Structure formats: structure tokens, C-alpha cells
Amino acid sequence: MQTKLELPAAVIFDMDGVLVDSNPYHLEKWIDFLNERRIPFDRETLPKLILGKRNDTLFRHFLGPDLAREESKRLSEEIEAIFRKVFKDHAKPLPGLDRLIQECHEAGVPMAVASSAMSKNVEFVVEALGYREYFRTVVSGDEVAHPKPDPEIYLKAAAHLGIEPPDAVGFEDSYVGIGAVKNAGMKCVAVASTFPIEELRPLADLAVPTFEAVNLEKLQELFSPVGK
């Protein structure tokens, strides 16, 4: 007799590159920032360097480790206000995401967001997509001391949901994000919206080209004896 697969205790989504295809806009934002200050960078390696990371980490990298906290906060507010203005008319869910969220919602699987972005950005995107009612908690980079790949943000989301991390699934698109999910002890699904699927596959429990290639049954299989 076939064993009935257990539902995940929760599904937790990153935001940039997972809920929305915003990373190209973040990339351009940083290119403009670096060019304005005549800071040298390599266009080919820049995406791996910046995507998925918190602004304060990147400001220290580009401007020096002694950058004052208040100046970092001011710069972050400045560039993210520009991002929200530019991205406003382009905020739409990745293909297949609506279906997966509805499927989880109808099955009673709690959902959350765990994003390194500042809270203003996270709330802006969640509201723009009309997803606020589906997420029981939203944790932003402003609310944790340690950035991804540290697991703090995912552990905090799990605590808010009242679930054990090993029983949850996290969706990510970046290397540091995948590291955060795995360091939290969760199952990880990597969405190849930002980086090549061949590079993500060895790092995650499941790698998919788009949300159209994943459903609740596939998430259940991650917890079966034959799952990774």
C-alpha cells in the first residue's frame, strides 16, 4: 500500500528573484551607484557578488569596513527608494507562482516571506502582488542581525510560524539564500530565475527552472524516504 506523503509544515519564500523578477533592477541600481562613485567593478562577476546580500554588507564591501551605520542606512534608503519607483510598474509574480500559492493555501500549508531586503521593499512587493493575506509572517533583513547565508532569518520565520525548521521548505534563487535555508536545516527548492540551474542543483534539495515545474506533491516528496 502506498504511504501517504506528509505536507510540509510551512513554505517560506525569499522575495527578490523568487516572488518577483526584480534582480535585473537591483543589478542596474548597483551599477549606477558604483559608476556614480567611480568604484571599479566587473560586470560579469557583479551578480554573484551582490544578489541575495543585504545592502549593509555590500556598502562595507565597496566603501570600506569603517562606513558608519547611519551613513549605510541613509544610502540604503536612497537607492531603495529609486528601486521602488523604477520597479513599481513591473511588479508581477513569477510564472507558476500564483498556482503554487493557491495550492498551498487551499491545503492549509502556512506560508511566509524571509527576505534580505529592507522592510519597505518587502511590504511594497507583497502588497503590489496582492499576496499579503497568504503570508502569516514576513521577515525582512531589517529584523535580523546576521545576513544570509546565516540561517537567522529562516529560523525567525519558523519561530513566528510555530514550526520546526526541518519540517519546512524554503524557496531561494541565490547562493547565499540557498545556504541560509540549508543552514537552518530546512529543505530547499532553488528557482533558476537568476543563476544557471546546473550551478544550483548540487546545492539544493530540488532545483527547478520555474515555478511551473513544482507543485505541492513535489514538495511532499522532499520529505519521503526517497527524497533528498
User: What string of pLDDT tens digits covers the 228 residues of the chain?
Assistant: 345 668 999 999 999 999 999 999 999 999 999 999 999 999 999 999 999 999 999 999 999 999 999 999 999 999 999 999 999 999 999 999 999 999 999 999 999 999 999 999 999 999 999 999 999 999 999 999 999 999 999 999 999 999 999 999 999 999 999 999 999 999 999 999 999 999 999 999 999 999 999 999 999 999 986 544
Using the structure block, give the residue that is written with the C-alpha cell 508581477: 92
* Topology classification of domain 23-89: DNA polymerase; domain 1 (1.10.150)
pLDDT of res. 227: 43
pLDDT of res. 3: 52
Architecture of domain 10-21+92-221: 3-Layer(aba) Sandwich (3.40)
pLDDT of res. 1: 38
pLDDT of res. 224: 81
Structural domain spans, the chain: 10-21+92-221, 23-89
pLDDT of res. 6: 86
